[in-house]
Amino acid sequence: MENYWNQFIENFIGGVPNLLTALAIFLVSLYLARFLSNVLHRILHKRMAPEGVTHLLRQLTLWTVIVIGTITALQRFFDVTAFLAGLGIVGFTVGFALQDVMKNFASGVILLLQQPFHVGETIGVKGFDGTILAINLRSTEMRALDGLVVILPNAEILANPIINYSRANQRRVELSLSLPHDAEPRAVRQTILDAIRTVPGIVRETEPVIVFNSLTDAALELNANFWIDTTENDPFHAKDTVLLTVKSAFREQGIEIPHPVQVQYTGTQVNK
C-alpha cells in the first residue's frame, strides 16, 4: 500500500509541469479568443455589418480558438490524433449530408456582409421582383409585386445577378407608340414632349429622346424615353401619366391610334 501511494505521489509530482503547461495553454487560448473576438467586433462595427452577423462571427471566432487551445492542452497528456481523425470522419460525413444547408449558410453570411440589399428595399433576382422582408442565414424572404411571399435560398441569390431598384435614384422610362401615316411627325413629337414635361419628378437635366424607328403598312412607330427621380415618382406612375396625357392630346388633335386590320376571306360555294 505504501508503495502504491509513493508511486502515485511521484507520478503526480512528475505530471505537475505538464498540468501547469496545459493550464497555461488553456488560459492563453481564452485570452486570445476574447482578444480576437473583440478585434473582429470593432472591424465589423466600422463596416456597419448587421448585428446578427457580428454576433455569429464573434462566437465562431471565440469557440474556434478555445477548441484549438483545448486540443493543444490535452496533447500534453495523451495523443489526440486518433480522436481528431475520428472527429474529422464524422465531420466530413455530416458536412456531405448537409452540404446544401452549409452552402446556403455561407451564402447568407456573405450577403449580410456585402449587403447588396437591405430589408425594405425592392430588388429583382431569378425572375422575381419584390420587397425584401427578412434576410436570414439560410434564405431570404421577399414579398413579390403580386403580393405573394417568396422564400429564396441564399446560394441561389448569390449565384445570380441582383437588381436593386431602391438604390437607383434615377430610372429611365420607355414607351412605344403607333401613329397613323397622315400624322405630322413634328407636331406629334412636340405633343409627346409637352406630356413628358408634365410628369412629376422628371429629370430636366437629361432631355427626353423621341425617335421614329419604323414605318409599317399600318402605322408609323416611335419610341420615347425619359428619366425620372425615383425619390419623387416611380416609373409605373410616370408612364401612366404620359400615356393618358398623350391620349387626351391626340383626341383633341383628331389623331387616332391605328388598329390592326385583319382581312378574312370567306369562300363562296357555287352550285352547278
Percent of the chain with pLDDT over 90: 15
Neighbours of 5 (CB within 10 A): 9
- pLDDT tens-digit series, residues 148-200: 999 999 999 998 999 998 888 889 999 888 888 888 888 888 988 989 988 89
Domain ranges for the chain, please list them. Answer: 2-97, 116-164, 170-253
Helix, strand, coil percentages in the chain from 3-state DSSP, rounded to 5: 50, 20, 30
145 pLDDT above the threshold of 70: yes
Tell me which residue of 236, 238, 243 sits closest to 201, measured CA to CA.
Answer: 238
Q: Domain 116-164 belongs to what architecture?
A: Roll (2.30)
Q: Residue 105, Cβ neighbours under 10 Å: how many?
A: 17
pLDDT of residue 143: 94
pLDDT at residue 111, rounded to an integer: 84
pLDDT of residue 18: 72
Q: Which residue has the higher pLDDT, 93 or 100?
A: 100
Mean pLDDT, rounded, for 6-34: 73
Segment of 21-25, 243-247, 264-268 carrying the highest mean pLDDT: 243-247
Instruction: Please check whether the domain covering 2-97 is classified as CATH 1.10.287.1260.
Output: yes
Only one residue has cell 413579390, namely: 144
Quick: pLDDT tens for 197-243.
Answer: 888 999 988 889 988 888 877 788 889 999 999 888 888 899 999 99
Predicted TM-score (pTM) of this structure? 0.60
pLDDT value of position 272: 47
pLDDT at 4 over 60: no
Torsion sign across C-alpha atoms 158, 161, 163, 168 = positive
What pLDDT score was predicted for residue 91?
A: 59
Q: Does domain 170-253 have CATH number 3.30.70.20?
A: no
Q: What is the DSSP string of 209-270?
A: EEEEEEE-SS-EEEEEEEEEETTT--HHHHHHHHHHHHHHHHHHHT----------------
Q: How much is the pLDDT for 84?
A: 61
Kindly list the distances between the CA atom of residue 175 and the CA atoms of 169, 230, 248, 255, in Å, as whole numbers in the listed order: 20, 17, 16, 18
CA atoms of 95 and 183, how far apart (whole Å): 69
CA 123 → CA 72, 77, 133, 134, 163, distances in Å?
A: 48, 56, 11, 13, 5
The whole-angstrom separation of Cα 104 and Cα 248 is 53
**Rounded-to-integer distance, Cα 233 and Cα 231, Å:** 6
For residue 215, what pLDDT is reported? 81
Q: What is the mean pLDDT of residues 41-53?
A: 73
Count H helices, E strands: the chain? Answer: 7, 8
